[in-house]
Structure 1
Amino acid sequence: MKKIVYIICSVLMLITTACEKDFLETESPSSLDEDFLFSDPSEAFKAVAGIYDVQYDLDRLLYYETEVVGSDSECHPENYSSQGRHIPEGLFASEFNINDGNSSKTWRECYQVITRANLVIEGIESNADYQNDKESNTKSEWTQLYGEAIACRATAFKLLVRYFGDVPYFNYAIRSASQADTIGLTSRDKIYDGEIEALQQAVPLMYRLGEGGITAERFSGTYADALIGRLAFDAAGYQTRRTDFDYGSVTFDQIGVENSTWQAKYVRRSDWRSYMELAKTHYLNVMNNPGTAMLIEVDERGAGFDNPFQRNFQYLMDLQVSPESLYESGYTRGKNSDFPYSFGRPSGGGGSNAYPPKNYGQARIYASFYYGDFLPNDKRRDVTACITANSGAASERLINFEPGSREKGGLAMNKLDESRFADPYTVRQRQSGCNWQQLRMGDVMLDLAYAAAATGDEATAKTYLTKVRSRAFSSADQSVHVTGYISPLSGQALLDAIAFERKLELAGEGKTRWDMTLYGTMPERIYNLRNRQIAMVEGLKDNGYYTFPDTGMTISNYVWTKFVNIKDDVDASLNLLTTQSPDGITSSDPTYPVLVPGWRGTSDLWTDYISTLASDKVNLAIMGLYSYIDPNGAEAAALEADGYVMSPWGINIVNNESQYTSDIFKGYPDAYYSEGQPPRYNRAIPFTTLAASNGLITQGYGHASE
């Protein structure tokens, strides 16, 4: 896969720190260096590449800790008490170190991006060629690089506000400590307005995806339009805000009560509609002028695949930029990549020379989401969540609901799988070279649908909801599960359906937690999640199974499994790893135990290694995954006579009940929901920043100041 060449100009490597404030660490080149840097686009590109060198990995740490494990679909795999990071993920049931390394590093690196971007922006603005191009409304390398720097800065501020709330804001180059002496906290409203305005000026002169050699591994005008939409959407949404901070003339609509201890309230701007209209406008700009980006609606791979949703992720695993991407962080094989190590199908392999090497599996899926929200004919279900892990020795292992990692920890992600790579990398863990797809068309379309519905344009909302949902179902299911489902929706029911669709479409991609926050539904969705999990556990304890009312899917304490040789016993041409389960297949079909669920198995490319295994130790046949089999009944006896073994499934949820019930969002108990308390998701500002601010930057949300 082509990556941006991170050539950081030597003058940027030799610059010195000009400011003492922790969050600045300003790297300021001399005027001579700046003259050289911004004399030619190729030199300026090196400076922009220096920003990307931090930008591409900017959000990984807090994304890992909270965003991809802290929603009503996504969770962590370990015991709550085993990892301190579960405290902020669970909304602070206890206090947390305000100098937490991942939090403070994210804070520091966001400001590193911002200070570098401001230097580049100012340098390009002083260039005569850029000025001429801007004046003549001509797209050029100069205007593109300028827009990329603006987009880098805006993306960093977007993350800072998401995690920390109101933060220091400056949109000019900092070259001395004296310039920083008066920087305090700025209202997030001013930050949103400032970055939206800057992007609106830059976007018309940026290349759309595919123009000027710009791919989704760089910020394009397509991405920047979507970023304006995202910032406006965020500005319109509900957020937890401080009551000890002056928001000027902005007024709010409030949910619930103010918390006097945390000094916080859960609100959105009273003029939210104007920002949602702005979000809709810029998301429509993406749809109307996407460049080469598109929603993948057709799977060209032929019979057996038939899943355009999965096709998107296969591009990533083939080390190709997906046509659905608006932005992918570029990773390099053999050097780095936390994908799919943390956010893909787990592997019990060793750290190196395994098939595949270890994959930890940080992102997990709640059983109540998998069984209770996905319809069995939704093509996204099996691509999203896996019920078998890679053994690390070219074979399958049943997922275990005991807390832990690898094959333990519950249902894991399946959108990425090192077994499914076109050229699997078995040398070492965390070096697959798989890009991080940070923004794709399905995401933007559903945001557009929500913004349109929220502002009364239900026709547009339904158009884009239909586009996304349609590809998840076969042609035979369209009339019932797409047209018939969407047509009668209106008002709040339409908004709820779009929010639900985002949950199905984006599970495991770290988008749902922030959606819950912005929609104003975080407290309710936490409460409902916990109650669904409790109902499931009680059913498993009382009856040995639980059937989810909305889908008819049943989870049981036990399933029956056996290893099979699919090449000899089922179909010599079959590859479970890339197989969509056939429409209408039932448990009476002899191939059902190995074809359902689909998109699992192991890589056929490991033939030499597989040949060293017993022929019946590669693929797993499973019965009882979606319907109850009485352990003492005739069906169980017949399966065991056929070589199946009764294997623990839901019973390990029962045996670890607190992990799956009372430890969920432990910092927001049911009493908080009843009282209408605001959700406390905001991170603490690091102590070093507070200490260096001369009192201009203060801690909020009840966090300690030292």
Structure 2
Amino acid sequence: MKKLFYFILTACVLMNISCEKDFLDVQAPSSVDDNFVFGTPEEATKVLAGMYDIWHDLDKNLYYDVVSVGSDSEHHPEPYSAQARHIPMGLFPVPYDINDGNALNTWNEGYEIINRANIMMRALESNPEYQKAVTSGTANAWTQLYGEALCHRATNYKLLIMYFGDVPYFDYPITSTAQTDTLGFTVRDKVYDGEIAALKKAAPLMYRLGGNLTAERFSGNYADYLTGRLAFDAAGYQLRRTDFDYGNITFDQWGQENSTWKAKYVRNTNWQSYMQTAKEYFLKVVNNPGSAYLIETDTRGAKFDNPFQLNFQKLLDLEVSPESLFEAGYTRTQNSDWPYSWGRPSGGAGSNDHPNKCYGQGRINPYYIFGDFDPADKRRDVTACFTGNTGKAGEILMSFARGNREKGGLASNKFDESRMNDPYIPRQRQSGVNWQQVRLGEVMLDLAYAAAATGDEATAKTYFKKVRARAFSAANQATKVTAYVDGMSGQTLLNGIEQELKLETGGEGKRRWDTILFGTFPKHIQEMRNNMRAMIAGLETNGYYTFPNGVQISSFVFTKNLKIKDVDPGLDLLTYQTPAGLTESDSKYPVLVPGWRGTNNGWADYLATLSPALQKNHIAIKGMFRYIDPASAEGLALLADGYVKAPWGSNLVANKVEYTDDFFLGYPDGSFAAGVPPRYIMPLSYSTLSTSNGNLTQGYGHASE
């Protein structure tokens, strides 16, 4: 996004040689003089820069394949048979290539960062200025750098556990293969404990957000969050091997052991102690946030009243959001996947189009959007896009036919290159939009969950309400926020917070891992499949389906292409949001509902070069949330007015197997009732196994070669 300090510095100096035949594939220093490298904070920053640079590539790998598309609210756009990545996303219904490149890269790059962090931390520990600061308990540039390196290490261990389960753990530099000759798996609880303890010491000596320290670097705020989140993860349900010795650690178990692939779905019986730590450190974040704050007011002027959307607009405006604790920072001309893979799709070319191609990897479950959201919730239309970009500065109705770009179903509307002040058109995947990885909205809901889980319902409700409040207008606060939250207690409260996280973070790739930790992943898979079947059956039988919240989805919607200025000369979809109380009788309703769509104003000159038909670049939509019978007086009037019946839910019917049975194909009907554990752990590669001297073995029923 911005021209970050670490992108203009020299490449990381710790890239001299690789440990040959090292299953960790870490990179070690050879003749590097650590005293020179870390002689000044500026020189040490160069090493840190290399870690951030690797991180930009690392966490996209399996996030792309599995995390962002494998929940009850998010899915992949293409048919199940189209790509091998659907196998791990769908919980391994068939054997999987253990040498998958994205999994191997995640493993290798994760350990590369971990070892670089250890090398840097070891060098800093002998620095007199660092030692003085630690002794006095005063933060300085050296303790900040040490903390950033530790955050890199802890973040990568967290990630590796999420994907691979128990992993090798070391908190010291590895400079030769001899150090890994006997290194095997470490019980993940010990990894969590080790990193939590280290972060507790380092976080108070890091700078808080503010001044020259933005959320594009790890801060004391992020370190506190990471401490809490590691504890939160440690408290949760995870898949564990039954052919592995966990020592004296005991577990609470969900369902049955799977004797075929030797695993069980459990949580540490000491989970409440971890949750207490999570609560303590999440409170540190919200009580001492530095310059970060939850966006609760829309500051864009009278036409706007959606603080939730403003957070994402900041990113599209190439600004660090004040709600962010950490954003992976990107510059223009640097390859990234925002919005290309997780934004509003575009049918444009790879370069010099309006906007360029946007594939739309992460898609949004239609039942989630139509059925889970209260119709008054301001987050709904921000979360899902109902129209995509043509690539010729126009709108196109999304399609539930399987495919990509405008096909594949609803996509995320949180990242839309059309909404950028200055869209970057020279080349796709180079928009400069940052990846917001942690923001205060989700931290507050994690805090609410941890507080509720440890019996502190007052704190839980305080932060539950705080996040939910910005999603509703002032007129709805009493009923849809205060009474809604206050009516919950015990397990109902925990369920309510889990649902709020789903509503808050849709399309951001948070849901899959959250539900795994909550122990609700199996239940939600079956519920999602049942809900989708009911919706599709209604569409097939009646031409529409009515959700419990009163919203309807129809087989067809009515659409008409038009010029937005013909509706209202003052109307501008980029600087005008759907006003509260807008009724269907208003002439602006068809172009403002669903909201947060349109095309960029800066492309007016380009539009003028197109044919008159293409200059009608916006779509008026009627019947998106309410069934309109085509044979009724209303339907006939719309057809007479130039509207056409556009396929909508009918494409769900035509692809019903893809949207039901093929979702989580490796967890078929009956699995939840039978207590079958969900197999989400990725396999280790052959190269990792074969170079580990037998210290690492394949688990969870995956092949070894």
TM-score, normalised to structure 2, is 0.98
Cα-to-partner distance string for 1:122-177 (whole Å, 9 max, x where unaligned): 01111111111111112111000000000000000000000000011111001111
Match of 2:580 in 1: 583
Match of 1:64 in 2: 64
C-alpha distance in structure 1 between counterparts of 2:307 and 2:285, whole Å: 21
C-alpha distance in structure 1 between counterparts of 2:624 and 2:49, whole Å: 49
1:236-275 maps to which residues of 2 (within 5 A)? Answer: 236-275=235-274
Match of 2:380 in 1: 381
Q: Post-superposition shift, 1:694? A: 1.2
C-alpha distance in structure 2 between counterparts of 1:282 and 1:476, whole Å: 34
Residues 578 and 535 of structure 1: is their aligned pair in 2 closer, same or farther, counting only changes over 3 Å? farther
1:71 alignment partner AA: S
1:498 alignment partner AA: I
C-alpha distance in structure 1 between counterparts of 2:14 and 2:147, whole Å: 23
Determine helix, strand or coil for the equivalent of 1:500: helix
Match of 1:556 in 2: 554
Q: Post-superposition shift, 1:11? A: 7.5
Percent sequence identity is 60
Q: Post-superposition shift, 1:5? A: 2.1
C-alpha distance in structure 2 between counterparts of 1:14 and 1:317, whole Å: 34
Q: Post-superposition shift, 1:461? A: 0.3
Q: Post-superposition shift, 1:441? A: 0.4
C-alpha distance in structure 2 between counterparts of 1:541 and 1:631, whole Å: 16
Cα-to-partner distance string for 1:235-282 (whole Å, 9 max, x where unaligned): 000001111111111100001000001100010011100000000000
Contact 1:4 1:217 in 2 (8 A): no
2:108 alignment partner AA: R
Structure 2 unmatched ranges of 5 or more: none
Contact 1:348 1:358 in 2 (8 A): yes
C-alpha distance in structure 1 between counterparts of 2:40 and 2:587, whole Å: 67
1:184-583 maps to which residues of 2 (within 5 A)? Answer: 184-211=184-211, 213-549=212-548, 551-568=549-566, 570-583=567-580
Determine helix, strand or coil for the equivalent of 1:532: helix
2:570 alignment partner AA: S
C-alpha distance in structure 2 between counterparts of 1:348 and 1:540, whole Å: 28
Q: Post-superposition shift, 1:488? A: 1.4
Match of residue 604, structure 2, among 607, 610, 634: 607
C-alpha distance in structure 2 between counterparts of 1:17 and 1:352, whole Å: 37
Cα-to-partner distance string for 1:175-231 (whole Å, 9 max, x where unaligned): 1111111110111001000111111111010001115x2110000000010000110
Cα-to-partner distance string for 1:335-380 (whole Å, 9 max, x where unaligned): 2221000001000111111100000001111110010011111110
C-alpha distance in structure 2 between counterparts of 1:646 and 1:51, whole Å: 53
Contact 1:6 1:52 in 2 (8 A): no
Determine helix, strand or coil for the equivalent of 1:255: strand
Q: Post-superposition shift, 1:12? A: 2.2
C-alpha distance in structure 2 between counterparts of 1:429 and 1:149, whole Å: 32
2:376 alignment partner AA: N
Cα-to-partner distance string for 1:537-591 (whole Å, 9 max, x where unaligned): 1000000000101x111000001100122212x2222112343322222222222
In the alignment, is residue 180 of structure 1 matched against residue 180 of structure 2?
Answer: yes
The farther-off stretch of 531-540 and 6-15 is 6-15
1:60 alignment partner AA: K
1:702 alignment partner AA: G
Cα-to-partner distance string for 1:283-310 (whole Å, 9 max, x where unaligned): 0000111111110001110122211001
C-alpha distance in structure 2 between counterparts of 1:572 and 1:278, whole Å: 56
Cα-to-partner distance string for 1:379-406 (whole Å, 9 max, x where unaligned): 1011110100011001100001100111
Q: Post-superposition shift, 1:10? A: 6.3
Contact 1:253 1:270 in 2 (8 A): yes
Residues 640 and 457 of structure 1: is their aligned pair in 2 closer, same or farther, counting only changes over 3 Å? same
C-alpha distance in structure 1 between counterparts of 2:150 and 2:9, whole Å: 18
Match of 1:649 in 2: 648
Contact 1:8 1:47 in 2 (8 A): no
Structure 1 unmatched ranges of 5 or more: none
Contact 2:13 2:46 in 1 (8 A): no
Match of 2:108 in 1: 108
C-alpha distance in structure 2 between counterparts of 1:577 and 1:95, whole Å: 47
Contact 1:69 1:89 in 2 (8 A): yes
Residues 607 and 8 of structure 1: is their aligned pair in 2 closer, same or farther, counting only changes over 3 Å? closer
Determine helix, strand or coil for the equivalent of 1:576: coil
Contact 1:341 1:361 in 2 (8 A): yes
Match of 2:38 in 1: 38
Q: Post-superposition shift, 1:89? A: 0.3
State how many pairs are aligned: 702
TM-score, normalised to structure 1, is 0.98
C-alpha distance in structure 2 between counterparts of 1:231 and 1:337, whole Å: 27
Match of 1:146 in 2: 146
1:183 alignment partner AA: L
The farther-off stretch of 446-455 and 620-629 is 620-629
In the alignment, is residue 132 of structure 1 matched against residue 129 of structure 2?
Answer: no
C-alpha distance in structure 2 between counterparts of 1:661 and 1:244, whole Å: 34
Q: Post-superposition shift, 1:13? A: 5.6
C-alpha distance in structure 2 between counterparts of 1:257 and 1:579, whole Å: 53
C-alpha distance in structure 2 between counterparts of 1:195 and 1:553, whole Å: 46
Match of 2:22 in 1: 21
Q: Post-superposition shift, 1:14? A: 5.3
Determine helix, strand or coil for the equivalent of 2:13: helix
C-alpha distance in structure 2 between counterparts of 1:581 and 1:18, whole Å: 58
1:289 alignment partner AA: N
Q: Post-superposition shift, 1:54? A: 0.7
2:27 alignment partner AA: T
The farther-off stretch of 613-622 and 481-490 is 613-622
1:588 alignment partner AA: S
Match of 1:170 in 2: 170
Q: Post-superposition shift, 1:637? A: 1.4
Contact 2:12 2:46 in 1 (8 A): no
